[in-house]
Amino acid sequence: MDKIIKTLRFPKKLLDEINSISIKKRMNFTNFVTSAVETYLRELRFTEAINESSGVWNLDDHPELKNGTEQYIRKIRKGRNLTLNSKD
C-alpha cells in the first residue's frame, strides 16, 4: 500500500487516550489510527448501503411471505423426506 505523510492535529486529551490504548495493545500510533479510520469508513459505507436499499423490498412482489419467512419455509418443506440414506 502506498503511504503518504499527512500532518494531523489531535486534542491532547484524545491523543493521551490513543497513546495509552495503543501501548496496551502494542500497536504503533499510525497502525492504531489507520485501523480506527478504516473501521469508521466501513461503518459509513454500511450505513449508506442500508439507507440506499431502504424501501426496496415490496410485499406486493412477494405475497407468499406475508405471514413471514418461517411459515413459508415450513410450507414448502412439508411432505419432503429430509432423512439421509445410510449406507450399511
Domain count, the chain: 1
Confidence of residue 31 (pLDDT cuts 50, 70, 90): very high
Average pLDDT, the chain: 87
Report pLDDT for 81: 66
Percent of the chain beyond pLDDT 90? 52
Report which residue type is found at 24.
K
Q: What is the pLDDT of residues 46-80, one digit of tens each?
A: 999 998 887 777 888 888 888 888 988 888 888 67
Residue numbers of the domain that contains 22: 12-77
DSSP line for 33-75:
HHHHHHHHHHHHHHHHHHHHHTT---GGG-GGGTT-HHHHHHH
Q: Which band of pLDDT confidence, cut at 50, 70 and 90, is reported for residue 42?
A: very high
* 42: in domain: yes
Within-domain flag for 5: no
In a domain, 54, yes or no: yes
Q: Is 4 part of any domain?
A: no
pLDDT bracket for residue 33 (50, 70, 90):
very high
Give residue 72's pLDDT: 86
